[in-house]
Amino acid sequence: MTAASPPEVLRAPLVVEFPFTRSLGPVQSAFLTGLRESVVLGVKTSDGRVVVPPVEYDPVTSEEIRDLVEVAATGTVTTWAWNDRPRPNQPLGTPFAWALVKLDGADTALLHALDAPGPDAVRTGMRVRVRWAAERTGAITDIACFEPYEDAPDAPAPAPGAGPAPHDGVFEDAVTGIVAEARLDYVYSPGRAQTAYINALSEQRTVGERCPSCHKVYVPPRGACPTCGVATTDQVEVGPAGTVTTFCIVNIKAKNLDIEVPYVYAHIALDGAGLALHGRIGGIPYDQVRMGLRVEPVWTEGGRYPDHYRPTGEPDADYDAYKELI
C-alpha cells in the first residue's frame, strides 16, 4: 500500500462536437428552401389552422398534413424576453429580444431573435418583420432576425376570411438536408480514484485500488467495485511487469497514429492486478506474440502513460496463473 495521492483535483478541457447530418421531410424541405428564396411557408392542419413553422403531422389529430400556404414576412409579437447578454451561437451578438412571432396569415408563432434598441422598445403585440440574412442556404438562420415594423402601425393584418394563398412548395434545387453543427465545451475532472491513478502514472507507477470486500484490485480504478457495489479505497501499486492474457493483430493503420502495421494490441494483466488493461506490444515480431508472454512497460520522455510493452525475457507464465484474467 502506498500513501494517498495529493488531494488536488485534476482538470482538463473536454470538447464534444457532433455535427449531425439530418434529412428533411417534404414539409421541412419546402419551408427551409422557401426561406432561402425569401418565402415563408406554413402548413394547414385538419381544422384549417395555419402552422408556422410547419410540421409534418397534425398536432391534434396526428394526421399527415401537406397543404402548404404562403404567409407574410410581417407579424405580431405574442411574447418576448430581453436577452442582455447574448450567448455563443445565438442569432445576434448584441443585446436582443427573444420573441415568439405570429406571422400574418399564421395561427401559431415562430421563435426567433428580435433586434431592438432595448427592452423599452419591445412589447407584446408590436409589429415586426423578417430581416433576411444576406447569404441564405436553406436554414432557420436564413431569417437573420426580426426587426420592428411600426411605421405601418398595428394594422395591416390581412382581411379575415381571405387566408393565405396556397403554395405548391416546389422550388428549384430544393434543400433536402441540414448539417446541425454543435459543439459543447466542458472541463473534465476525473474524480478521486482516477486522479490518484493519473498522478501515479506521471511518476511512471501504476496504482490500482483494492475492493475492501472481495479484495480484487482494479486497474485502472474507477472508485467502485462493480461486483460488490462498494468504494474501492486501498491503493495498491501493481506491475510494472505483467502477462499477455490475449491479443489481436492490427492490420489497418489508424488515422493520426504513427505506428507501422501489423502490430499487436494485447490485454495485459499487470502483476498484482485483478483485471487486464490493454496496450501495444513492441520489441518482438508481431507473429511471435503469444498468450502468457511476460512484458514490461516502455516509457517515452514526458509520456503520461506507457508507450508500449516489450518482452521481459522471463519464461512464459503458466496458463493457470492468468486464466481467470482473460
Partner 1 sequence: MTGPRTSRYARDVAVVAFAQSDHLRRTDELSEVEMVMPVLHEVLAATGLKAGEIGFTCSGSSDYLAGRAFSFTMTLDGVGAWPPISESHVEMDGAWALYEAWVKIQTGEADTALVYSYGKSSPGSVRDVLTRQLDPYYLAPLWPDSVALAALQAQALIDAGETDEPALAAIAARSRADAGTNPHAQLRGAVPQGDYQVRPLRTGDCPPVGDGVAAVVLAAGDLARQLCERPAWITGIDHRIEAHGLGLRDLTDSPSTRTAAQHAGFFDAPVDTAELHAPFSSQEVVLRKALGLGDTVAVNPSGGALAANPMMAAGLIRIGEAAARIHRGASDRAVAHATSGPCLQQNLVAVLEGDRA
Residues that bind partner 1 (CB under 8 A): 7, 9, 11, 14, 16, 20, 22, 24, 28, 32, 51-53, 55, 59, 78-84, 87-91, 98-100, 102, 108-113, 119, 124, 139-141, 178, 180, 182, 184-195, 222-231
Query: What is the three-class DSSP state of 276?
Result: coil
> Of the two residues 51 and 277, which places its CB atom closer to partner 1 in the complex?
51
Distance in angstroms (rounded) separating the CA atoms of residues 154 and 43: 25
CB-nearer residue toward Zn ion: 49 or 192: 192
27 C-beta neighbours (distance < 10 Å), count:
23
- Minimum Å distance from CB 261 to partner 1? 27
Q: What is the CA radius of gyration of the chain?
A: 32
63 binds, among partner 1, Zn ion, none (CB under 5 to 8 A by kind): none
**Is the C-alpha dihedral spanning 121, 124, 127, 131 positive or negative?**
positive
Instruction: Answer for the pair 114, 97: CB distance below 8 angstroms, yes or no.
Output: yes
Select from partner 1, Zn ion, none the partner in contact with residue 211, using the beta carbon and a kind-dependent cut-off of 5 to 8 Å: Zn ion
Which positions from 192 to 231 touch Zn ion by CB under 5 A, shown as an x/- string? -------------------x-xx----------x-xx---
Dihedral angle sign, alpha carbons of residues 192, 197, 200, 201: negative
108 binds, among partner 1, Zn ion, none (CB under 5 to 8 A by kind): partner 1
Partner in contact with 313, chosen from partner 1, Zn ion, none, beta carbon below 5 to 8 Å by kind: none
Rounded Cα distance, 135 and 271, in Å: 63
Rounded Cα distance, 155 and 251, in Å: 72
d(CA 40, CA 158): 15
Shortest Å, Cβ 221 to Zn ion: 12
CB of 257 to Zn ion, least distance (A): 35
Q: Where along the sequence are the contacts to Zn ion (CB under 5 A)?
A: 211, 213-214, 225, 227-228
